[in-house]
Chains A and B, each alone.
Chain A
């Protein structure tokens, strides 16, 4: 069965530190990849998405992600985090049958 793995459960950073959150998926076929953010008490917001083309995708709020097909990965990055980036981050993958599978999520805490 297809699966999505986020290996970092909780990441704690100081402001201005660089961020990289890992995401790996198991399916070898065509996939569409997403990163969502969920701020405390709020609903999911799309940060960025990849369907095709340039594997380096830029999203909102200074986030970017790189699709590396050979590694089945879609890691999220931000060069300099802010306190307001404290949130839960979910990687998600849709497969040919339209189902979206979510990773377990990574909680990011940014210390001021």
Chain B
């Protein structure tokens, strides 16, 4: 159990367009979901934390108007990169916790975004 999926797995878009990435917990209800960004050959950087039905909490330096996060249900969170630019090209990874009190996060496979 504890499978997290992401869709799409990769996306290429033109500069100025918006891209939506979905993160789903397939076999459990995710009380909290997290969005990370990973640049090539670098570590994961936490972008934001979201709880179902409430506003996401963004890390310092992450533009909330650019990276819109919606945690609509206990199994789905979406990240929308608005007005994407080439510098937004990156690997975006989501994770989810079951709220069992053990703080273990289950990671999705990631979405590679390339902005032309």
Give A residues with C-beta under 8 Å from B. Answer: 32, 34, 36, 42-44, 49, 51, 88, 90, 94, 98-105, 107
Contacts and interface: CB of A to CB of B under 8 A. Distances in A.
B89 interface: no
Given A51-B104, A104-B42, 12 more contacts: A32-B104, A34-B104, A44-B110, A90-B43, A90-B44, A94-B104, A98-B49, A100-B46, A100-B103, A102-B44, A102-B45, A103-B43
B102 A99 contact: no
Contact of A43 (B42, B97, B109): B109
B43 A99 contact: no
A105 B108 contact: no
Nearest to B107: A44
A47 B42 CA distance: 19
Interface in B79-104: 93, 95, 97, 102-104
A45 to B, nearest CB: 8
A94 B107 contact: no
B67 interface: no
A88 B41 CA distance: 9
16 contacts: A32-B104, A36-B107, A43-B109, A44-B93, A44-B110, A90-B43, A90-B44, A94-B104, A94-B105, A99-B46, A100-B34, A102-B44, A104-B42, A105-B42, A105-B43, A107-B41
B43 to A, nearest CB: 5
A101 B104 CA distance: 12
B32 interface: yes
A29 to B, nearest CB: 13
Contacts of B102: 32, 51
A100 B42 CA distance: 16
Nearest to B32: A98
Nearest to A95: B103
Nearest to B36: A102
Contacts of A102: 43-45
B11 to A, nearest CB: 16
